[in-house]
Chain A
Amino acid sequence: ETGVTQTPRHLVMGMTNKKSLKCEQHLGHNAMYWYKQSAKKPLELMFVYSLEERVENNSVPSRFSPECPNSSHLFLHLHTLQPEDSALYLCASSQGTGIQETQYFGPGTRLLVL
C-alpha cells in the first residue's frame, strides 16, 4: 500500500542466532532508514542511507549491521541479540534526505528475542 515492503513480518530468534531483515521500496526513492520502535517509547532512528551510502549511524550496537546494496533494498543483519532488542523494526524511504522530505514506512518486522 505504501510502496515499502518488509520481510519477514514476524521473527522469533534466540540470542545466538543470526538473521536478517529485508526492506524493499518501489518508489524510486534515494534514501532509506531503519527505526526501532519499542512499546511506549519514541521511535529510535538507527541508520540512514542516501544513495547507498550510510550517512547516519545513531550509536547503534554492533550486533545490528545494516547493508544497502542498491537504492531499492536495505537489510538489517542481526547477530547475538539481547532480549531488550525485541521491538518493531520499521523501514522507511524518502525521495532525498532534505529537511522537508516526508517518509514512507513499511509495515515493520515484529522481532522477539528469546
Chain B
Amino acid sequence: SQQGEEDPQALSIQEGENATMNCSYKTSINNLQWYRQNSGRGLVHLILIRSNEREKHSGRLRVTLDTSKKSSSLLITASRAADTASYFCAPVPSWGKLQFGAGTQVVVTP
C-alpha cells in the first residue's frame, strides 16, 4: 500500500512547546501533502511538498521530506491550544491519488 503511516499515533504537549510527527511511505512519490482535522470535522490542507524539495515552511509549520528514507516530518512550533487536532500525511504517487494514513492525534494543553 502507498498510504502514509504517521508516528506517533498520539502526542500530548503543552502550549508553547514544539510538536513533531513523522510520516513514512513505501514507494516513489510525486509529492506529499499534510492535512489537519479538527474533531468531527473535515480535513484541511496544510502544505504540499514536492519530491524534489527537502523543506518547506508555512507560518509555524515546517515540513521536511527525505525521499531516500521515504519519510517526511511535520513540525509545529510554539504550539497553541487551537493546534489540537489530528494530522494526516498523504503521499501521492505519480500514478495515483492521495493515500491518507490513520493520523497523529495531537493534544495541546494550556
Contacts and interface: CB of A to CB of B under 8 A. Distances in A.
Chain B binds chain A: yes
Contacts of A56: 97
Interface stretch (A64-72, A77-85, A97-105): A97-105
Contact of A92 (B31, B42, B99, B101): B42
Contact of B33 (A4, A42, A102): A102
Interface in B53-99: 88, 92-94, 96-99
Contacts of A104: 45
A16 interface: no
The majority secondary structure among interface residues of chain B is loop
B44 A105 contact: yes
B62 to A, nearest CB: 18
Interface string A87-112: 01010100001011011111110100
Counting chain B CB atoms within 10 Å of each CB, the highest count among A41, A102, A105, A106 belongs to A102
Most buried by B among A88, A92, A103, A104: A103
B40 interface: yes
Contact of A102 (B3, B30, B42, B45): B45
A106 B43 CA distance: 8
A104 B31 CA distance: 17
Interface of A: 2, 4, 6, 35, 40-43, 45, 48, 56, 88, 90, 92, 97, 99-100, 102-108, 110
Interface of B: 3, 9, 30-31, 33, 35, 40-45, 48, 50, 88, 92-94, 96-102
Shortest 5 CB-CB distances between A and B: which pairs?
A105-B42, A43-B100, A102-B45, A105-B43, A99-B30
